[in-house]
RNA sequence: UGGGUUAUAGUGUAAUGGUAGCACUACAGAUUUUGAUUCUGUCCGUCUAGGUUCGAAUCCUAGUAACCCAACCA
C-alpha cells in the first residue's frame, strides 16, 4: 500500500550512514539562539531535525546556543520551548551551550597546548585590516608567534578577568592566506564582562559560534548537525576544530532556508516590526512567528504538513504564501465547527412570520455526521450579510435581490419582496416572505434556491468584535525591491469590525476551538476575548469563486 | 573581478544514463442547503551552446545567472 516516497538529500545521507554502519543510530539537534521568538523558518528546521529523529528511530536534542550574553534572555528560552512543544515535538534533552563553558575552556587550552591557538592583543579594527579581502591574502599578526606558555598564561588571565572587553582575543592559528575567510585565524574567544542569563557573572570570556557550536555537537555526540546554507563556509573550520581537538566527529550538512512571499522571515526584520510598532508584538496574528500564527488560529498539524510539502533542498526558494493557506484550510476544513456569524450586518425582516414566534432549528456542526448537530434560534428579524443583497441582481447572482429566492441555511427559502433605505441612501431593511413548507429537513415544496446564505436571529444574536488580517507586505519579495523593506508594509493588514453578530452557541468556547463561520472563513477566539466581549480572529478566508467572478469584470 | 553553493512548469519538489512525475497556483466543468468541501479535466518545464552515448535533466567542456563569505553576531 505505502507508496515509494522519494528521499531528500539528508535522508539519503542518513540511510547510507545507517546502512554502512557508520552510526548505529542518529542524534540530531535543534539549536536556536535564545535572542528572539521562533518563526516559520525555524518550524522548517524543527520539523526537519525532529522529523529525522522520529523517522530513523533516533533522538533530537533541544540546545540553546547561548554564547552571547548581551543578546539573550530567559524570556526567549521559555517561548522557544513552548513553541517546539506546541508544534508537537519532544526533545531528548534540554541543553545549553553555556553548560559546556568549562569544557569548552579546556578544549581551548588543549588547542593552545597543541600550538594551534594564540592570544592576540590587536583591536577589532586592526584584526579586520590584517585579514585582507577575498581577493587579497591576509597578513599575520605579530602576536601569532607567541609561545605556548605565554598563550597559556594570557588566556588564563583573560578568563580571570584581568583584561577589559576587546583588549584580547583567542584565535585559531590556521592560514591567513586561505581563500576561505573563515580560516584566516578565526576568533575563538572574546572578552565580555556581561551578565549571562544562566551562568550569571561566572564568566567574562565567551566562545564564538565557531568554537561553541561544533564542539557542543561533538560533546553531545550529534551525528548529523543540520544548519542553513550560509554556514557552508564555516564547515571547513567546523571540521578543522574537531580534527585537531580529536573529539567526536559530528558532521555538518546544510539546507536552504525558507523564504515566503508577502512576508519577511528574519529575526532582525521581525524585531524591527515589533520595536517600531508596525505590529503589536511578537505574537501579533500577522507575524510569521510560531506564536503569532498560533494566535491567528493556525494548527500545529497544518504547519507540519506545510513543512513536509515544501521539501528540503540546497537551492534558494520562495514559497507561495498560498501553499501555507492551502495546508491551513485543508486541516481546518476537517476539524472546524460550523457556525454562523454576520460581519457586515443588515436587517432582514420576514413579513409573513409571526411577530413573537421563535423556532429552534437544527444545524450540523461539522463536515460529517460525527460532529453532531446544534440548535440555532430563528425569528422574524435576522441579521444577514450586506454583501449578500443587491438592489439589482447581477449576472449569475444567486443571492438576495428583489424578486429573487434564496435558502436561509438550515431554515427556510425566502422570497425577497423589497427593501428600504435610510436617509443616507443605505439599505437598512430587506423585506422577505418565507415559504413555510420549505423548512430545512422537512421540505415538501419541491422548490429549490440557487443560493444559500447564512444569518443570525436579531433577538438572539451575540455582539462580537472580529479582526480581519491581510498579508503584511504589499509585494511578494521585499528583498528584490528598491529601498528598505518597511516601505512595502501593507497598512491595511488589520481591519477591525466592532459590530459583528454571531449565533448564541459561540458564547462558550476556548482559544483552542476552531470555527468556520459559514461562507466567511475560519475563525478562532483571540486571547483578548472575554465572556462580555467576544473577540474573533479570522485565521483565513474560504476560497471564494464569486469574488473571482467579480474581479474578472 | 578570490573562494564557495545552486540552476527542472508561475511556485516548490521528484526522476540516481532508459516514458520528465507529484503538489500548490491559474483556468474550465460536474456535484453541493457553505459560490466552501469533494470530483473531473486543461495550460505550462529540464539556464545556454557544444560534446560523449543506441539513448542525457542526469556524464564531459565552455559559458550565463542567482545566492553566500572579509561581525570580538549566531
Nucleotides of B under 7 A from a protein CB: 1-8, 10-16, 23-27, 33-38, 66-74
pLDDT at residue number A553: 75
pLDDT at residue number A552: 79
Active-site annotation holder among A11, A33, A236, A481: A33
Whether residue A439 lies in the annotated active site: no
Active-site annotation holder among A144, A257, A269, A314: A257
Give every strand in the sheet of A94-96, ordered side by side: A27-30, A59-64, A94-96
User: What would the mean pLDDT of A196-225 be, rounded to a whole number?
Assistant: 98
Whether residue A33 lies in the annotated active site: yes
- CA atom of A77 to C1′ atom of B23, Å: 35
Q: Are the CB atoms for A78 and A36 separated by under 8 Å? A: no
Beta carbons within 10 angstroms of residue A267's beta carbon: 18
- CA atom of A409 to C1′ atom of B6, Å: 53
> Residue closest to B38, CA→C1'?
A367
Q: Which nucleotide's C1' sits nearest to the alpha carbon of A550?
A: B35
Q: Which nucleotide's C1' sits nearest to the alpha carbon of A260?
A: B11
Whether A319 has a pLDDT exceeding 50, the answer reads yes
Q: Which nucleotide's C1' sits nearest to the alpha carbon of A440?
A: B33
Average per-residue pLDDT in chain A? 96
Beta carbons within 10 angstroms of residue A149's beta carbon: 10
Q: Which nucleotide's C1' sits nearest to the alpha carbon of A311?
A: B13
Whether A1 has a pLDDT exceeding 60, the answer reads no
User: What would the mean pLDDT of A210-230 be, rounded to a whole number?
Assistant: 98
pLDDT at residue number A361: 97
Active-site annotation holder among A267, A405, A407, A439: A267
Render A327-391 in DSSP notation, one character per residue.
HHHHHHHHHPEEE-EESSEEEEEETTS-TT-EEEEEEE-SSSGGG-EEEEEEESEEEEEGGGB-S
Whether A106 has a pLDDT exceeding 80, the answer reads yes
- CA atom of A165 to C1′ atom of B12, Å: 47
Q: Return the SS3 of A13.
A: helix
* Residues A419-429: tens digit of each pLDDT: 999 999 999 99
Whether A3 has a pLDDT exceeding 60, the answer reads no
* Residues A488-537: tens digit of each pLDDT: 999 999 999 999 999 999 999 899 999 999 999 999 999 999 999 999 99
Candidates A239, A125, A243, A119; CA nearest to A185 is: A119
> Residue closest to B70, CA→C1'?
A133
* Beta-bridge partner residues of A415: A405, A433
Candidates A402, A358, A404, A364; CA nearest to A381 is: A358
C-alpha span between A36 and A282 (Å, rounded): 9
> Residue closest to B2, CA→C1'?
A135
- CA atom of A444 to C1′ atom of B5, Å: 70
Amino acid at each position: 500500500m505505502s507508496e515509494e516516497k522519494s528521499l531528500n538529500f539528508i535522508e539519503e545521507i542518513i540511510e547510507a550512514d545507517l546502512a554502512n554502519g557508520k552510526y548505529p543510530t542518529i542524534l540530531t539537534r535543534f539549536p536556536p539562539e535564545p535572542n528572539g521568538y521562533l518563526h516559520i523558518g525555524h518550524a522548517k528546521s524543527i520539523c526537519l531535525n525532529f522529523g529525522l529523529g522520529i523517522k530513523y528511530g533516533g533522538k533530537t536534542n533541544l540546545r540553546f546556543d547561548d554564547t552571547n550574553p548581551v543578546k539573550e534572555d530567559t524570556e526567549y528560552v521559555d517561548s522557544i520551548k513552548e513553541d517546539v512543544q506546541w508544534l508537537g515535538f519532544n526533545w531528548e534533552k534540554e541543553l545549553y551551550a553555556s553548560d559546556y563553558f568549562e569544557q569548552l575552556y579546556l578544549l581551548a587550552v588543549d588547542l593552545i597546548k597543541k600550538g594551534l591557538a594564540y592570544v592576540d592583543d590587536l583591536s577589532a579594527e586592526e584584526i579586520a585590516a590584517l585579514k585582507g579581502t577575498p581577493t587579497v591574502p591576509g597578513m599575520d599578526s605579530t602576536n601569532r608567534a607567541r609561545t605556548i606558555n605565554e598563550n597559556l598564561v594570557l588566556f588564563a588571565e583573560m578568563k580571570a578577568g584581568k583584561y577589559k572587553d576587546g583588549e584580547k582575543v583567542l584565535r585559531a592559528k590556521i592560514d591567513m592566506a586561505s581563500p576561505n575567510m573563515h580560516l584566516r585565524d578565526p576568533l575563538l574567544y572574546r572578552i565580555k564582562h556581561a551578565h549571562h542569563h544562566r551562568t550569571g557573572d561566572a564568566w567574562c570570556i565567551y566562545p564564538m559560534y565557531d568554537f561553541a557550536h561544533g564542539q557542543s555537537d561533538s560533546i553531545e555526540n550529534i551525528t548529523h548537525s543540520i544548519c542553513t546554507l550560509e554556514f557552508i563556509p564555516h564547515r571547513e573550520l567546523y571540521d578543522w576544530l574537531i580534527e585537531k581537538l580529536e573529539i567526536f566527529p559530528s558532521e555538518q550538512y546544510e539546507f536552504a532556508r525558507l523564504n515566503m512571499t508577502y512576508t519577511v522571515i528574519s529575526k532582525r526584520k521581525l524585531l524591527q516590526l515589533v520595536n517600531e510598532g508596525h505590529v503589536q508584538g511578537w505574537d501579533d496574528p500577522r507575524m510569521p512567528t510560531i506564536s503569532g500564527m498560533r494566535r491567528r488560529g493556525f494548527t500545529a498539524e497544518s504547519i507540519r504538513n506545510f513543512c513536509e510539502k515544501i521539501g528540503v533542498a540546497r537551492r534558494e526558494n520562495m514559497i507561495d504564501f498560498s501553499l501555507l493557506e492551502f495546508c491551513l484550510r485543508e486541516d481546518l476544513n476537517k476539524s472546524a465547527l460550523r457556525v454562523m456569524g454576520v460581519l457586515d450586518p443588515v436587517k432582514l425582516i420576514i413579513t409573513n412570520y409571526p411577530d413573537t414566534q421563535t423556532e429552534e432549528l437544527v444545524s450540523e456542526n461539522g463536515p460529517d455526521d460525527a460532529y453532531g448537530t446544534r440548535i440555532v434560534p430563528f425569528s422574524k428579524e435576522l441579521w444577514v450579510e450586506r454583501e449578500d443583497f443587491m438592489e439589482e441582481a447581477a449576472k449569475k447572482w444567486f443571492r438576495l435581490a428583489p424578486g429573487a429566492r434564496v435558502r436561509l441555511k438550515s431554515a427556510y427559502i425566502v422570497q425577497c419582496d423589497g427593501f428600504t433605505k435610510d436617509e443616507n441612501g443605505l439599505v437598512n431593511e430587506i423585506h422577505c416572505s418565507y415559504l413555510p413548507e420549505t423548512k430545512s429537513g422537512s421540505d415538501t415544496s419541491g422548490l429549490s434556491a440557487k443560493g444559500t446564505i447564512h444569518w443570525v436571529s436579531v433577538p438572539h444574536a451575540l455582539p462580537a468584535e472580529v479582526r480581519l488580517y491581510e498579508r503584511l507586505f504589499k509585494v511578494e519579495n521585499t528583498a528584490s525591491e528598491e529601498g528598505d523593506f518597511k516601505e512595502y508594509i501593507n497598512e491595511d493588514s488589520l481591519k477591525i469590525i466592532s459590530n459583528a453578530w454571531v449565533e448564541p452557541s459561540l458564547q462558550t468556547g476556548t482559544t483552542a476551538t476552531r470555527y468556520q463561520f459559514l461562507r466567511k472563513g475560519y475563525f478562532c477566539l483571540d486571547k483578548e476575548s472575554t465572556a462580555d466581549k467576544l473577540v474573533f480572529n479570522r485565521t483565513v478566508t474560504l476560497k471564494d469563486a464569486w469574488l473571482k467572478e467579480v474581479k474578472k469584470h
